[in-house]
Amino acid sequence: MTNIKDLAKMAGVSVTTVSRVLNNHPYVSKEKRNAVLAAIKESNYEQNINAVHLSKGKTQMIGVVLPFSDHPYFALLLKGIAKQALENNYKLVLFQTDYMESRELEALQMLKQKQIDSLIICSRTCEWSVIQEYLSYGTIVLCEDTKGKEVSSTFVNQYKIFKEALAFLYKKGHQRIGYCIGRKTGPSSQLRANAYKEFLSEHQLPYCEEYIIDHCNYFEDAKIVMDHLLQMDNRPTALIVTSDQVAAGIVIYCQKQGIKIPEELAIIGYHNESIAKLMEISTMEIPLLEMGKNLFQQAISKEITKEEMFFRFIERTTV
C-alpha cells in the first residue's frame, strides 16, 4: 500500500503538497500538481480514510437506529434517509435494535467514540434521560415530538392522528373501537393511549382492555388479531391498525372468514403503504420518505429544529 509519503518521494515534493492536491487546495503550481497526479496514477494510490478521520475528527458517517429493517414503516424511512445521505456524500451505519436497549446504547456509544458524526434514532427504546447524556458528543435526531428538549426532530402528531381516526369512526356510528399497535411502550403508543382514553371519556364509552392488541407489526400478525377478536363476546366494530401491512392482513383474513368489511368490521390503516392503495384500505397517510429526508438534513445541520409533518386521512373502502 503506497501512502502519502511515498507519493511525495515519487513526485519529488513534500507531503504537504501532496495533501494539497489530494484535497484540491489552492497554492500549488501546475507542474507539481501534475507530478503528484502522475505519481498517484502510477502507484494506484488510495487514501487511507481512517487516517483522514483521525486527523479531521469526523467520519462523514451517520448512524441510523431502527428496530427492524423489514417493516415498511422503517424501510421507507430508511430509504428516504439513504437517498439524502447519498446526495450529501455521507455513509450510513445501520443499527437494527429489535427494540433492545443495549443495542441502542451501542449506537450512542459509537457517537461518543466519534465513529459517527450524528445519530438518527427512528424509534427509541432508551429513556430520554440516557439519550440526553450523549448530546454533547454529536448531533442526535429523533423521530418524535421532542417538545422543549434540546434535540432536532421530525415527527407527525401521533395524538392528533389517532384522535382524528377515532372521530371519523365515531361519526360513522362506531362505539366499540379497538386498535392494534407494534409495541405498548414507546412514545407513539403513549400518545395513542392518551388519545384513546380521552376519546372514550369524551363520549362516555367504556374502556375495554381487550380492544387493544399489541405486537402487530407484520402481515402474519393479523392472525393473532383475528384469533383474539373471534373469541370475544362483544368484539369491536372498528379497528385502527397502525400499519397498513397488518391492516391488509386483517382484510384478507376477514375475506376468508366471511366477515364483511366495512359492515361488520371497519378498518383504518396507517402510512398509506402501497398495499393500502392496492387493496383500497382507508388509511392515515404519513409522508415517510419525506420524513427520512428531513431527518437526515437535521442530522447534518448545526441548528436544532423541530419539524412537524402533515398527515392526511384517505378514505377508501374499508371504513
Partner DNA sequence: TTGTATGCGTTATCAT
Partner DNA sequence: ATGATAACGCATACAA
Counting contacts by CB under 8 A, is residue 127 touching its own copies? no
- Candidate residues 42, 101, 214, 220; the one interacting with its own copies per rule CB under 8 A: 220
* CB of 202 or CB of 220, closer to its own copies: 220
- Candidate residues 41, 44, 56, 147; the one interacting with DNA per rule CB under 7 A: 56
* CB of 37 or CB of 193, closer to DNA: 37
Stretch of residues binding DNA (CB under 7 A), selected from 1-9, 66-74, 102-110, 271-279: 1-9
From the CB of 24, what's the least distance to its own copies, in Å? 17
What DSSP string describes the chain? Answer: ---HHHHHHHHTS-HHHHHHHHTT-S---HHHHHHHHHHHHHHT----HHHHHHHHT--SEEEEEES-TTSHHHHHHHHHHHHHHHHTT-EEEEEE-TT-HHHHHHHHHHHHTTSSSEEEESS--S-HHHHHHTGGGSEEEESS--TTSSSEEEE--HHHHHHHHHHHHHHTT---EEEE-S-SSSHHHHHHHHHHHHHHHHTTPPP-GGGEE----STTHHHHHHHHHHT-SS--SEEEES-HHHHHHHHHHHHHHT--TTTT-EEEEEET-HHHHHHT--EEE--HHHHHHHHHHHHH-SS--EEEPP-EEE--S--
Number of Cβ within 10 Å of residue 185's Cβ equals 11
Counting contacts by CB under 8 A, is residue 215 touching its own copies? no
* CB of 35 or CB of 64, closer to DNA: 35
- Candidate residues 94, 101, 160, 230; the one interacting with its own copies per rule CB under 8 A: 94
How far apart are the two ends of the chain, measured CA to CA in Å? 65
Contacts (CB under 8 A) with its own copies, residues 39-58:
46-51, 53-54, 57
C-alpha cell at 132: 440526553
From the CB of 118, what's the least distance to DNA, in Å? 19
Counting contacts by CB under 7 A, is residue 304 touching DNA? no
- Candidate residues 9, 10, 24, 31; the one interacting with DNA per rule CB under 7 A: 31
Stretch of residues binding DNA (CB under 7 A), selected from 2-10, 165-173, 261-269, 303-311: 2-10
Counting contacts by CB under 7 A, is residue 171 touching DNA? no
Number of residues lying near DNA (CB under 7 A) = 31
Stretch of residues binding DNA (CB under 7 A), selected from 39-47, 59-67, 77-85, 306-314: 39-47
Number of Cβ within 10 Å of residue 234's Cβ equals 9
Stretch of residues binding its own copies (CB under 8 A), selected from 35-43, 82-90, 119-127, 300-308: 82-90
Stretch of residues binding its own copies (CB under 8 A), selected from 7-15, 80-88, 166-174, 258-266: 80-88
- Candidate residues 34, 38, 42, 51; the one interacting with DNA per rule CB under 7 A: 51
- Candidate residues 34, 38, 42, 47; the one interacting with DNA per rule CB under 7 A: 47
> Do 126 and 101 form a contact (C-beta atoms < 8 A)?
yes
In angstroms, the Cα distances linking 54 to 49, 106, 217 are 9, 20, 41
* CB of 4 or CB of 252, closer to its own copies: 252
Residue 69's binding partner among its own copies, DNA, none (Cβ under 5 to 8 angstroms by kind) is its own copies
Q: 127, exposed or middle or buried, with CB in 10 Å at 0-12, 13-18, 19+?
A: exposed
Counting contacts by CB under 7 A, is residue 23 touching DNA? yes
Q: Which residues bind DNA (CB under 7 A)?
A: 1, 3-5, 12-17, 19-20, 22-23, 26-29, 31-33, 45-48, 51-52, 54-57
